[in-house]
Amino acid sequence: MSIRVGLSTASCYPLSTAAAFRIAAELGYDGVEVMVWTEPASQDARALRELSERHGVPILSIHAPTLLLTQRVMGNEPWGKIDRSVDLARDVGAGTVVLHPPFRWQKEYATGFVDGVAQREARHPEIKLAVENMFPWRARGREVQAYLPHWDLRRNHYAHTTLDLSHTATSGSDAIAVAEELGDRLSHIHLADGLGSYKDEHLVPGRGTQPCAQMLEMLARDQFGGDVVVEVGTRRLSDEDRLVDLAEALAFARLHLAIGAGRISSPF
């Protein structure tokens, strides 16, 4: 079975969740990852199901509101936010919840984080809680470990993980080595690129230094069982340029997945 290529609604920000579904359908994406945000529709299972049915685009995954800017979304209690995200995923038919590791100031949450994720997966075996790799924060030549237990997924044993290639650029990690070391625990991909800036650039794949093509070809060759979700930044673009970038990202993903699967030869 071909690996599905989804579109994160975050790739369409500041447009609405509804606009992201429309764009995903227009460009031919296989599905959508919903970033839970302050917008009510992103938190509403009924609204999301209606958008999915209207545009004929399935919801592949839910990104829990664990970003710095979504600390008050779905409440203030960290585990409550995760539990509500799992419920939302179940209600819309998504098989994956993406979540970030705790911030270092969330010490109580961080202490039980690995076990808490495992317990929730045991209660909801139909949902993968795929913890995402992050990166150290840098300022004025100093590096701060902003996440606990750690930003590097390899430091802790999670059953399911998300590998974000913009984050590997920011952290200076070898994305291929990380993927190989994670092995079967790698279950979800955020496809983006970066040049190594501390800003976490989320460039269109192929425009940075990350091995995006090599990664996609490896996933297809190894018959990866998860989804690839395009998560790129387009907030400063015109509507026309946004469509161009998102179409390019989709074409890039499908080309290199097809090469890896042996369906076509490399044109390069």
Structural domain includes residue 202: yes
Instruction: Count the domains in the chain.
Output: 1
265 domain-assigned: no
Say if 267 falls within a structural domain: no
Within 10 Å of residue 12's Cβ, how many Cβ atoms?
26
Q: Burial letters for 187-206: b for 16+ Cβ neighbours within 10 Å, e otherwise?
A: bbbbbbbbeeeeebbbbbbe
Residue 189 lies in a domain: yes
Quick check: is 10 in a domain?
Answer: yes
Q: Could you identify the residue written with the tokens 């970030």?
A: 100
- Cα distance between residue 158 and residue 121, in whole Å: 10
Cis peptide before 149 (omega within 30 of 0): yes
For residue 67, is it within any domain?
yes
Q: Is 201 a member of any domain?
A: yes
Q: What are the pLDDT tens digits along the chain (268 aa)?
A: 599 999 999 999 999 999 999 999 999 999 999 999 999 999 999 999 999 999 999 999 999 999 988 989 999 999 999 999 999 999 999 999 999 999 999 999 999 999 999 999 999 999 999 999 999 987 766 777 899 999 999 999 999 999 999 999 999 999 999 999 999 999 999 999 999 988 899 999 999 999 999 999 999 999 999 999 999 999 999 999 999 999 999 999 999 999 999 988 877 7
pTM: 0.96
Strand partners, 144: 137
Q: What is the CATH number of the domain that holds 11?
A: 3.20.20.150
What is the Cα gyration radius of the chain?
17
Q: Provide the domain limits for residue 86.
A: 5-260
**Is the residue at 268 inside a domain?**
no
- Given a contact cutoff of 8 angstroms between Cβ atoms, the answer to whether 255 and 211 are in contact is no
